[in-house]
Each structure stands twice: as C-alpha cells, then as structure tokens.
Amino acid sequence: MDPDDLPRPKGDAASRLATEDLGPYSQAELDERIARLEAEIERVKSHRGRAAAHRAEADALFGRKPG
C-alpha cells in the first residue's frame, strides 16, 4: 500500500508541541525554539501560497466545479 493512501495520524506535531512543558528550557533554548518555529511558519505559508496558485491554475484550466 502506498504511504500516501494511509490515513493521517491523529494530531500533528504543532499540537504535540503546544502541550510540551517549557519549564526545563533555558532562555537560549527557548529563543532557538522560537526561531525554528518562525522558520516553520514561513515554510508552511510558502507551501500554502504555492498550493493556492496551483489550485487557481487548475481552476482556470479545467473550470471551477460548483460546490
């Protein structure tokens, strides 16, 4: 079976991160974590933009389906 055909696991990494205890982290570690999360936000926004552009191209080519 193709892995793309499998259902997505329940919950995602962001949800798991949101429940993690931040108490043990130093300020420097928290700064690093913030930088990584901000970079991930930008990566997701970029992907969303590309997906929206792809969808718009498909809609223009094939016509938008009602619904």
pTM of the predicted model as reported, rounded to 2 decimal places: 0.68
User: How many alpha carbons lie under 13 Å from residue 26 in its C-beta half-sphere?
Assistant: 3
pLDDT in tens, 1-46: 666 777 766 778 888 889 999 999 999 999 999 999 999 999 999 9
**pLDDT beyond 90 at 65:** no
Report the pLDDT averaged over residues 34-59.
95
Whole-angstrom distance, CA of residue 34 vs CA of residue 30: 6
